Amino acid sequence: GDASKIMIIAFACYFPIVLNTVSGVREVDVNLLKVARLFGANRRQTLTKIILPSAFPAIMTGLRISMAVALILLIVTEMIGARSGLGFMIIDAQYTFKTDRMFAGILTIGVIGFLLNELMVWIEKRYTKWKREIRAVSF
């Protein structure tokens, strides 16, 4: 049923998010942490003002990868064991030689994937303006 599909997708999406988040947190500049401690920042302030903003690009990368994996797995699970959805529609159209419906489904999946990716890129750009400013200033 739907619960098994959700579990498969959640399991597949878990690791890219966690591994990228851990990688992003490990890459936080130690000097920033030292400066925060010198200025008397508590753990919450250090987390919200230094660690999360520094790790955010890596976290977003994990989310983008997981989003693509989730979309692919959703379509595949619909193709294999569903009676509705885009994946089912594509397989059904293939078996009944309705190529126009099949390609419409494939195109729809491509557009959905593209739009979701663009949304994630927009979110990342919006919340990492400081990253572009640093690159523009660095030599």
> Over the range 97-116, which residues count as b (16 or more CB within 10 Å of their CB) and which as e?
eeeeebeebeeebeeeeeee
Domain hosting residue 86, numbered range: 2-133
Tell me 97's DSSP state.
T
Q: Which residues contact 60 (CB under 8 A, 6 or more apart)?
A: 120, 123, 124, 128
C-beta of residue 64 within 8 angstroms of C-beta of residue 21: no
| Predicted confidence (pLDDT) at residue 42 exceeds the cutoff of 90 | yes
| Predicted confidence (pLDDT) at residue 16 exceeds the cutoff of 80 | yes
Tell me whether residue 138 is in a domain. Answer: no
Q: Quick one: pLDDT at residue 134?
A: 58
d(CA 2, CA 39): 51
Look-up: residue for tokens 């190529």? 99
Tell me whether residue 25 is in a domain. Answer: yes
The confidence band for 129, taking pLDDT boundaries of 50, 70 and 90, is confident
**Number of folded domains that form the chain:** 1
Tell me whether residue 139 is in a domain. Answer: no
- Write out pLDDT tens, residues 77-126: 999 988 889 999 999 999 999 999 999 999 999 999 999 999 999 999 89
